[in-house]
Chains A and B, each alone.
Chain A
C-alpha cells in the first residue's frame, strides 16, 4: 500500500501455484512509491541529476534551460503524430514560473515492454501462448478442460487462470490434467504483462508447450493490455447477443480467432450464427471463426486443428 497518497485501492494481486499451494503477491505500486521517494528528497534533487537523466530521453536539453519557455518550437519529439498545429496552444499556457518539458511517453509503455519480453521468452522456447478472452460465463474454462482432456497426450498444456477471486478455475484445470497457476487480480478487471511474467516463473511451461492464458471475463480492458501472447482468442456463446462484435469492437479487432461456443443450444435461443460472423468480419475482416460445443463435441476437431496449425507455425518460425 502506498502510504503517501493513500492509493491503497490497488488491491493486491496474488499468484497461486495450485500444485504446491504456494501463494505470492505482486507489489504493483512500487513505481508510484519510487516517485514519492523523490518527492521527499526534493531538497537534494540537484545532486541526483545523473539519475534523472537515465529516465528522460527526451528532456535532457530542457533540464538545462529553465528560462526557455517555448520548448515545443524546438525539434520534433519522438511521439509527434502530426499534431503540430496543437503545439502553440500548449506553449501559451506555460506560467511565468513554470517550464514545459516534453515527456513523449506512451502510457502503456511499461506493460508493452514487459509483454515483448514475455513474447521473446515464449518464442525462444517455442511456446505457443494464447490469450483467451470473453464475457464471464461464455465457457472459457469448460473449453480449456475439454481441450486438455483431449490433447494432453499430444501437446503439453500449461494454464494461467485469471480471476478477481478464488482458486476454483485453476483447481478445475488441475483436475483436467494440466499444470496451472491462478492469478487473482483483486479488483483488477484484466491481466497485465507483469502478472504473466510472474505466473510463468511459477509454472515453468516446458519447451514447445501450449500456454493458455485465461483472462478475466471482460470484453473491454483485456483488449488494451498485451500479455506477450501469439494471438487473442475471443469466445462468444450463443446465449449472448449476436451483435457483441459491434458492441465490443476493440476486442473483436484484437482477436485472431472467434469461437462461437455452446452451439448445442442454438435450437433454444435466438442467435443467428451467420449474422454474428458477418458482424465480426465487419469489425475485423480477417477474423477466423470456429463454431463448437463442448457438450456435444461438435466443431471441436476444427479447434484442435487450429491449435495444431498454430503450434506447428511456432516451431517453423523458430526454425527459420
Chain B
C-alpha cells in the first residue's frame, strides 16, 4: 500500500514547515486520477502523525475531479477514469486536472 509511504512524506513535509509549532489541520489536494485513495491516506494519517507536531491534527482532503481538453473540438471533458472520450468522439485528450498530489496548507496553533 503506497499510501503509507505517501502519508509519511506528508507528515515529514508538514512537520518540517511547522518547525516545532503545533499543527491543528492539514489540507491536501488529491486528484481523482492520481492513483492515491483519500480513505487510505486518512487511515494512515492518524497513525503516522502520532507523537509528531501533527498529532491529533484534522485532515481535510480536497478531491479534484479529472478534466481534459479535447484536442480535436476544443471542448472540456470531465474524466471519471484515466481513459476518456469527448462527446465529439475523439480520444485525443489533454489532461488538465485530476493528477494532483499536493499539500495545500496547514493550520498552526498560535499562542
Interface residues of A (CB under 8 A from B): 4-7, 9-10, 29, 31-32, 34-36, 38-39, 41-42, 45, 48, 51-52, 55-56, 59, 66, 72, 77, 79, 81-83, 86, 90, 93-95, 97-111, 188-190, 192, 220-221, 223-225, 246, 249-250, 253, 282-283, 285
- Using a Cβ–Cβ cut-off of 8 Å, how many residues does chain B contribute to the interface with A? 55
Residues A39 and B52 in contact, CB atoms below 8 Å apart: yes
B interface with A by C-beta (< 8 Å)? 1-2, 4-6, 8-21, 24-25, 27-29, 35-36, 47-53, 55, 60, 62, 64, 81-83, 91-92, 97, 100-111
Contact at B35–A98, with CB atoms within 8 Å? Answer: no
The CA of A52 and the CA of B21, in the complex, are separated in Å by 11
A-B contact pairs, 24 of them (CB 8 A): A5-B55, A32-B12, A32-B15, A35-B15, A35-B16, A35-B52, A36-B15, A39-B53, A48-B20, A86-B62, A93-B60, A94-B107, A98-B107, A100-B107, A103-B103, A103-B106, A107-B103, A108-B9, A108-B101, A189-B2, A224-B35, A249-B83, A250-B35, A282-B83
Provide the residues of chain A in CB contact with B83, threshold 8 Å: 246, 249, 282-283
Chain A binding surface, main DSSP class: mixed
Q: Are A107 and B50 in touch, CB under 8 angstroms? A: no
Among the listed B17, B24, B47, B48, which residue makes an inter-chain contact with A59, where contact means beta carbons less than 8 Å apart?
B17
Chain A residue numbers with a CB within 8 Å of B55 are: 5
Q: Which residue of B lies closest to A108 (CB)?
A: B101
Known A-B contacts A82-B97, A107-B10, A107-B101; A42 and B108 likewise in contact (beta carbons under 8 Å):
no
